[in-house]
Structure 1
Amino acid sequence: MNVVLWIIASLLAAAFLAAGLMKVSQPKEKLAASGMEWTADFSANTVKLIGGLEILAAIGLILPAVVDIVPVLVPLAAVGLVLIMAGAALTHTRRKEFPMIAVNLVILVLAALVVWGRFGPYSFN
């Protein structure tokens, strides 16, 4: 199960690093034109803040465990992703973008699995 948690955390980290970098490096209008219509509901600074949080979570999923410094940050980063995905699901629900809600919920469950595993039986003691 430890290997499965590493794989899930690595996939989440890669996805959120890419998504976060895109949000912080591109203007809101370009993001909206490329399929992130939800950005119209938020200020440019809020979109950049979300991107920054995604980048921090991606780093937090991997780096603390790899360098063995404060590894409790791994499940805390996963908790952050659970919260981000819950907010994303609420945003997509409000906008009636139902296919995106399923994606958000799958990612939320994967992040919750990392939370459970790393706070529970597969922690980095």
Structure 2
Amino acid sequence: MTDQKTNKGLIIGLWIAQVLVALMLLWGGYAKLATPLEELSQMMPWAAENPSLLTFTGIVDLLGGLGLLLPAILRIKPQLTVYAAYGTAALMVAAAIFHISRGEYESVGMNVVILLIALFIAWGRSKKAPILPKS
């Protein structure tokens, strides 16, 4: 009985983590792709220096957000959710390195938090509470 409650709690926690990280990535991707470059340059000075990097990271953010949710919700190739979680973790490592190289240390904390949540999702969806594909 306790194991069943723990498993249910873990599943709920994983869904909450997936939705939160996905929303953060989707919001970030949308903001990078839909906000005019002049506005973004005020918030992110590197955007004006390298607009192609901005577009690339916006697309990666959108794909990561979709990958964390859609395969799991639709139960079509749900293993892709695990890959999206690992991809998000790698993205956060790259983002942290990028921010450190620019001296933007205040941004690294959020990268580390998202990295840890993404690793939790990858672990949970691959080992403890995998989602089975539709039969």
TM-score w.r.t. length of structure 1? 0.91
Percentage of pairs with the same residue = 33
Residue 39 of structure 1 pairs with residue 47 of structure 2: yes
Correspondence 1:45-124 to 2 at 5 A: 45-124=52-131
1:62 alignment partner AA: L
Question: CA RMSD for the aligned pairs?
Answer: 1.3
Larger CA Rg, structure 1 vs 2: 2
- Residues 91 and 40 (structure 1 numbering): CA distance in 2 closer, same or farther, change over 3 Å? farther
Aligned length: 123
SS of structure 2 residue aligned to 1:120: helix
Structure 2 Cα separation of the partners of residues 12 and 39 of structure 1: 23
Name the TM-score, length of structure 2 as normaliser: 0.85
Matched, 1:25 2:34: yes
**Structure 1 stretches (4+) deviating beyond 3 angstroms?**
none
* Residue identity opposite 2:47 in structure 1: T
Counterpart for residue 9 of structure 1: 18
Q: Provide structure 2 residue ranges, at least 5 long, that are not aligned to the other structure.
A: 1-9
